Amino acid sequence: MTHSLSVIILAAGKGTRMKSSKPKVLQTLAAKPLLTHVLDTCAQLETDKTIVVYGFGGNQVQAAMTDYALTWVEQTEQLGTGHAVKVTLDELPQDGESLILYGDVPLVSETTLTQLVTANTSGMSMLTLTVDNPFGLGRIKRDDANNIVAIVEQKDANEAEQAINEINSGIYCVDNALLHKYLPKLSNDNAQGEYYLTDIVKMAVADGIKIAAIEPEDEFEIEGVNNRQQLANLERRWQAKLVEDLQVQGVQFADPARVDIRGQVEAGQDVFVDTNVVFQGHCQIGNNVTIESGCIIKDSVIGDNTHLKPYCVLDEAKLGNQVTVGPFAHLRPKTELANNSKIGNFVETKKSQIGEGSKVNHLSYIGDAQVGKQVNIGAGTITCNYDGVNKSQTTIGDEAFIGSNSSLVAPVTIGKTATVGAGSVITKDVDDHALGVARGKQVQKDNYKRPTKNK
């Protein structure tokens, strides 16, 4: 048997029960479309071709998946799972084997799919699951030698068959030659008038093919999504799994149920994550990091012994070791904080490098700036980096002191150990070791009468 592997993903359903203008496979779980979860898992396998069967909202689905090399096949009529696979035959290679997956079953793992492919030594393997309550699901019927002989639907099952706890997931690995042989023979002579994919199991058994079966490690791997409630339940189960994996690595969560991971988190040991923290994209966290309540961290790197106080937002930021941030700080893209630096209350930074030991403590905006070591930036300081057309750079040398409520109008350079007087609007460079002051002259009018309201 050739090692060529194709993937067929059924993604044509409308998802009427979602009550949405979006196709079901574009509904999001962990901030990612359901179909994207499946495609990202398949990308970890060595596949030769991925065929996606689309239907309702096909233009939306295709537009959302342009990052993937896919073969698209339209199912113009919804005539069952067997029909959905059948419409791929013109695109499906004659040799090799295919995984049959579903765009609304997002969490089947790469490990499970690899095992399923490995198990297919005779022409067909399938993913099954033993559950406590199989009501409503297709049962896997086996003979005395434990060979699969049939899939029996709930409505057709007798009392003995209803007692079976092994159920069908609908996920298969099948030799392409068998798909080309069996799918044209499918019949819709049933109460629903649909072509059932499960009928290929019956055909394989009739041909004497021994069907292999494996079970996934986690039950949620075969769970599909049909409505908002199921989507929310699956979200929580997936989040619990992601949190559990981080706990194994040494991360402590104040409440594992009150954290969301919408991407990938790599973390060291003795990390503490408080409640209502959200991770997005790819986040890297060092050792002994404390992240307090309400922080949102996206595509950021956080060094060892760093402390994020409550309600900080990090977006593509890079933090060194022993950094303190917040509370209520906003670190925008291309912010870099060196070791032992500090960003305080209600401070916003953007495209700036803050040097080792430097502090921006209160109510300040630092954008397009290069800040040296051991710099103190007073409360209310802003770098005026935008003239309405262009962004310009502010450079602040080592050990400079910027007084409170100062405006540094870029492009401008503040020298090493220079001082800017509080309340200054600095439009010219300040030399090393110098004091720069730019204020209007204070005027006093004695016996000043305040204005009064007109009667």
pLDDT per position as a tens digit, 302-330: 999 999 999 999 999 999 999 999 999 99
**CATH 3.90.550.10: does it fit domain 5-222?**
yes
* Catalytic (active site) residue 37: no
Element of type H or E holding 59: helix 58-64
Peptide bond into 327 cis (omega under 30): yes
pLDDT per position as a tens digit, 376-418: 999 999 999 999 999 999 999 999 999 999 999 999 999 999 9
pLDDT for 430 beyond 50: yes
Q: Which two tokens stand for residue 412?
A: 């401008």
Backbone torsions φ then ψ of 245, nearest 5 degrees: -60, -40
- Rounded distance between C-alpha atoms, residue 249 and residue 109, angstroms: 20
Helix H segments across 124-193?
A: 159-162, 176-182
Q: Which CATH superfamily is domain 240-436 in?
A: Hexapeptide repeat proteins (2.160.10.10)
Residue percentage of the chain with pLDDT more than 90 = 89
For residue 45, the model assigns a pLDDT of: 95
For residue 194, the model assigns a pLDDT of: 85
For residue 34, the model assigns a pLDDT of: 98
pLDDT band at 157 (very low <50, low <70, confident <90, very high): confident
Catalytic residue among 37, 330, 362, 433: 362
As annotated, the residues of the chain forming the CATH 3.90.550.10 domain(s) are 5-222
For residue 453, the model assigns a pLDDT of: 87
Tell me the average pLDDT across 263-276: 97
CB 376 within 8 A of CB 398: no
Element of type H or E holding 58: helix 58-64
- Rounded distance between C-alpha atoms, residue 160 and residue 436, angstroms: 90
For the chain, what is the mean pLDDT? 95
For residue 301, the model assigns a pLDDT of: 98
For residue 436, the model assigns a pLDDT of: 97
For residue 328, the model assigns a pLDDT of: 98
For residue 1, the model assigns a pLDDT of: 40
Torsion angle, alpha carbons of 239, 245, 246, 247, to 10: 100
For residue 190, the model assigns a pLDDT of: 74
pLDDT for 124 beyond 60: yes
Helix H segments across 159-311?
A: 159-162, 176-182, 199-206, 228-249
For residue 2, the model assigns a pLDDT of: 47
As annotated, the residues of the chain forming the CATH 2.160.10.10 domain(s) are 240-436
- Rounded distance between C-alpha atoms, residue 138 and residue 444, angstroms: 89
pLDDT per position as a tens digit, 345-375: 999 999 999 999 999 999 999 999 999 999 9
Best CA proximity match to 1, nearest among 92, 117, 102, 89:
117
pLDDT for 107 beyond 90: yes
